Each structure stands twice: as structure tokens, then as C-alpha cells.
Amino acid sequence: MQMNMEAVFREIESFRDEMVNTLIELIKIPAISPDSGGEGEYDKAQKLLEIIKDWPFDKIERYDAPDPRAKNGVRPNILAYYYGEQGEESPRLWILTHLDVVPPGDLSKWTVTKPFEPVVKDGKVYGRGSEDNGQSLVASLYAVRALMNLGIRPKRTIILAFVSDEETGSKYGIEWLMKNHPELFKKDDLVLVPDGGNEEGTFIEIAEKSILWMKIKVKGKQVHASMPGLGLNAHRVAIDYAKALDDFLHEKYNARDELFDPPESTFEPTMGGNPSDAPNIAPGEHEVVFDCRVLPQYKLDEVLSDAQDLAEKVKEKYKKEIEGKVLPEIEIEVLQRLDAPAPTPKDSEIVKLLQRAIREFRGKEAKVGGIGGGTFAAYFRRLRIPAVVWATLDETAHQPNEYAKIENMVEDAKIMAALALL
């Protein structure tokens, strides 16, 4: 096996330039979700299929989630199988990456190159989607390609999944696949999601916090700021409520779990605003948004009902009848909610296998931990399929001048291949 591994690693290294070119070709196609104003992943999926059309995969399947807003009305999801030494009976390893990218953001901050005109500079490939998730997508492709070229059937069947809609909720990606094609997934599958990690490649994510985005909408009555008694200033009610909520949540949900970084639940007021467009207008409406990342031991239902109870108290405090209406109104809208599933056990096979590969082939000890949440490993954990998130990343995702370090792409491909072989 050791000899095999060295040959595989050499083969992967020989692909270095081709990997860079493939990454560049993929970055050139903006695959932005319709939720963010783009046309989706269709063209990028086509390009990917074209790149691998002559590669000897045993099976390539395409599952199109219907989405009338996207190009050709679909959000494509591609699965490419390379069977292990026992053919279809082999144990299976998934490597999942996503096709979509986030929008470029402020174009003036892209100083190295334009977002979708990738360039190579100082051992890095710059462009939107280079590190998130192009680097790992290409790494996974060439991990398999190396085995194909050497005629090696790995111990485990490798299923490369190239999925849509990771950045805006997965409703047309992994969540849709699991709902509409549950037969694709097996309880004893091993799952790697190379879409998070640290610079050293020594962080294995096995747990995440629950996510709750709440929009609090306060309604009062607009009034001239010099005569506040004639109306009800929604801004004051909202900031009073927001401060009370902020204090309450931090105080009640104060447990610490060192598995996570940061180790406590977080509750952050983020967006906010009102339609007042003059210093002397006390607005009749005001909104505040909270981003909550809650340790999995707590229930989001409880957080929500606490927020609701507090809203009743604040309503009582400011209660006023104006023109036959009891004000203020406080409505809580859930913008996003993801209840964290039970963590992947520390001693599960995929965790031990990955730690072993990192130890043997990088000489490093990887530690397990939890993050703020939001990767699609959670969907597998919900099915009780142990999944890990791991990659070697400079963490430039979602930023201007996003880049992928070529070294990381090549070295991660080796670990991916090792996971199939060990």
C-alpha cells in the first residue's frame, strides 16, 4: 500500500499545471445563485461535464433540481462514481463540493484581478470561487484521476458530488437530493466536505451550532420629532427591545463548550434600519436583525419563544392606543433557521481515517472541533451519516481578492486519495 501511495502522490503532483488550468476554466464561469441575482450553475456544470467526459468514471449521474429562475430552469447536481476494489459492493467515500459562488461584492476592492478573470500570481489562483469551493473541487477531481491513470481500484468507492446552491440554503442542492433521491445515501457512507478548515490543514469540523436569523419588525406611528407624544417612535421601541433581547439571550444561553470556537453561543444584532429620511422624523417602523449561533444543547424553539415573550413585555411597556390601534406591534420573522444535528462522533471512522492520513502524510496532528455552522455536513449528520468538514485553506472565501493556494490544492488531493486507499 505504501508504494502505491507514493506513486499516487507523484501522479497527483504531475497534474499540478492541469489542476491550475482546470480551476481557471471553472472560475471564469460565474455560478451565482438566482437568490443573489445570478443565473445559477448550469454553464459551470456543463463545463465540468465536458472536462471529465473522457475520464473513466464508472458512472456519472446528473440530478437537476427544477428552479424556474435559473438558466434552463434547473440547478444541476452531478455525481461521479469511481468504484473501489469490490466494485459496487465497496464501502463508499463521498467528497462533496459546491458549484455555486457568492457574488463578487464591491468590485473596487478587487485589486489583483476582476472576480471572473482568474490570474495566477505567487503560487495562488485569484478569482471568485477559487478557494470556495474551486480549490477542493479540483483537488477531488485529480485525486480520482491519479488513481484512474495508475489503474488503481481504491479500497473505497469514491463518489464525487458537485452540488448546486450551497451558498444560499441548499434547497436546490444537497437538501433537494436527499429529499428526492434518498436512495443515493447509505448509513455507513463516509463523507468529506472539503469546504472549511485552517491554514495548516489541522482542523476537522465535526459539529456546528444551530443558526437562527430573526428579523424583528416594530410598528409604531410616525411623528414629528418635536411632538413625540402624538405618535409612537418605532426606533426607540426597537432599540430598547434589541438591547433587552441581546442581554437576555447572552445571560440565559451562557453555556460554554470548548469543542467550539468561539466556545459560547453568539447573538449579534446585524442589519437594522427605518424609513426615516430626516433628522426630525421619528419613524413609525423600525427593523432589527439578529444572527444567532446557538450551541446544539439548546433548542431554537426556546430561543424564539423567549424572543416572543420579551416582545410582549416591551409592547406592554410602550402600549398606546392611537386612532383605535393598539401599538406598538412587534413581529418576529425567521429569515433562516438550521437546527444543529448531533455532532459526528470523535471516534467515527471518517474522523479517525482523516486524522491518520494527516498524521502519516503531513506529519501533523489534526484536532476536531465545532464551528458557527452552515456547511452541508449538517444534512448528512441529520441522516446520522457521520460527515467531516476539512480542507487546507487560507480562508479568503467571500472576500475580495479571493485566492486558492496551488500548494493546498495539490496537497489536499493527496489526502483525499489517501482516504480512499487507507
Residues noted as catalytic: 100, 166
**Is 170 a residue that touches Zn ion (CB under 5 A)?**
no
Taking the complex as a whole, the smallest distance from the CB of residue 73 to Zn ion amounts, in Å, to 24
Taking the complex as a whole, the smallest distance from the CB of residue 222 to Zn ion amounts, in Å, to 42
Taking the complex as a whole, the smallest distance from the CB of residue 98 to Zn ion amounts, in Å, to 6
In terms of CB distance, is 133 or 233 closer to Zn ion?
Answer: 133
**Is 195 a residue that touches Zn ion (CB under 5 A)?**
yes
Q: How many CB atoms lie within 10 A of CB 349?
A: 12
Taking the complex as a whole, the smallest distance from the CB of residue 397 to Zn ion amounts, in Å, to 6
Stretch that binds Zn ion, among 6-14, 126-134, 186-194, 350-358 (CB under 5 A): 126-134
In terms of CB distance, is 199 or 349 closer to Zn ion?
Answer: 199
In terms of CB distance, is 237 or 393 closer to Zn ion?
Answer: 393
Stretch that binds Zn ion, among 187-195, 199-207, 209-217, 259-267 (CB under 5 A): 187-195
In terms of CB distance, is 124 or 286 closer to Zn ion?
Answer: 124
**Is 175 a residue that touches Zn ion (CB under 5 A)?**
no
Taking the complex as a whole, the smallest distance from the CB of residue 192 to Zn ion amounts, in Å, to 14
**Is 136 a residue that touches Zn ion (CB under 5 A)?**
no
**Is 132 a residue that touches Zn ion (CB under 5 A)?**
yes
Selected binder of Zn ion within 77, 90, 133, 135 (CB under 5 A): 133
In terms of CB distance, is 241 or 379 closer to Zn ion?
Answer: 379
Taking the complex as a whole, the smallest distance from the CB of residue 398 to Zn ion amounts, in Å, to 8
Binding mask 84-123 for Zn ion (x = CB under 5 A): ----------------------------------------
Residues near Zn ion (CB under 5 A): 132-133, 195
